[in-house]
Structure 1
Amino acid sequence: MNTFLLEIVTPEHLVFSKQVNSLTVKGADGDLGILPGHIPLVTPLQVAPMFIKTDGATVTIAVHGGFVEVHKDKVTVLAESAELPTEIDVERAEAAKERAQRRLQTRSKQDEIDHRRAELALQRAVTRIKVSTGKGQQ
């Protein structure tokens, strides 16, 4: 069998469920390629585009943290949020990117938590922009 079932789930809904040929995600230690028959594993995901190869095409999804769980014939992505390119509001993402960049430039020494939140907001915005404009392609 040269496919496996991929399900991408968020707390709100099932984002994607289909037989696919391969999946590339950005795990805790870098890029991870998953093919049919991959060894079982669980790893946290970074905020980054996810690439799915199916039916000769590549589908890109913006994933904002979570975990990937690999089984013999099924892969489940439990994401904090995940968006298809058609679901992304590019203008909103651009505005969020600018806000995050401003916050990062004007931070004081006492607000490390705000700095980390701004970094994550910037990562999410950049990921959304890449996926929606097709620049997140492999």
Structure 2
Amino acid sequence: MGLNIRVIAPDRIVWNAKAEEVILPTSTGQLGILSGHAPLLTALDIGVMRVRITNTWTSIVLFGGFAEVENDEILILVNGAEEASVINLDKANKELIESSSLLNEAKTNKEKFEATQKLRKAKARVQAANTLTNQSIY
């Protein structure tokens, strides 16, 4: 295993394990990291992080943050995170529908922003939960 990955949220250590590959949801798109990657610091968007250990992919929803890559160490500081294994797909789909309705009903800029963030989180949760039943990484 080539990468040491740590995901830290304000309230807990979400992930601390070795892996062969990680795909991060950055503010400019998905970023794949393998052993020997050049050092970098990147902003993370709301989305699904995928981690490959041998031939198994694990998904973790990240709610924005930053990632630092250096010497096969990946430190990920996030506002919040949720492992796909604890997400109830039915509940996540319901939240997706509700947040979509909330966005349609939003009137002020603040309401629109908050509803958009909630919708993005709901989409990421559904995407991550779906990876449990379908091992495709996309």
Q: TM-score, normalised by structure 1?
A: 0.89
**1:1-138 to 2 correspondences below 5 Å:** 3-108=2-107, 111-134=108-131, 137-138=137-138
Structure 1 gap ranges (5+): none
Letter in 2 for 1:97: L
The residue type paired with residue 52 of structure 2 is K
> What's the offset of the Cα at 1:96?
2.4
Once residues 88 and 80 of structure 2 are traced to their aligned partners in structure 1, the CA distance between those partners, rounded to angstroms, is 14
Structure 1 counterpart of 2:95, which letter? A
Q: Contact 2:106 / 2:115 at 8 angstroms: preserved in 1?
A: no
- Compute the displacement of 1:87 (Å): 1.5
Greater alpha carbon shift after TM alignment, 126-135 vs 35-44: 126-135
Please state how far the C-alpha of 1:6 moved relative to its aligned partner.
0.4
Distance (whole Å) between structure 1 residues aligned to residue 88 and residue 36 of structure 2: 36
Distance 1:13 1:103 in 2: 30
Residues in 2 aligned to 1:116 and 1:13: alpha-carbon distance in whole angstroms: 27
Percent identity for Structure 1 against Structure 2: 23
Shift of 1:46: 0.9
Q: Distance in 2 between matches of 1:90 and 1:116?
A: 25
What is the number of equivalent residue pairs in this alignment?
135
Which structure 2 residue ranges, 5 or more long, are not aligned?
none
CA contact (8 A) 2:46 2:124 kept: yes
In the aligned structure 2, how far is the partner of 1:93 from the partner of 1:119? Answer: 16
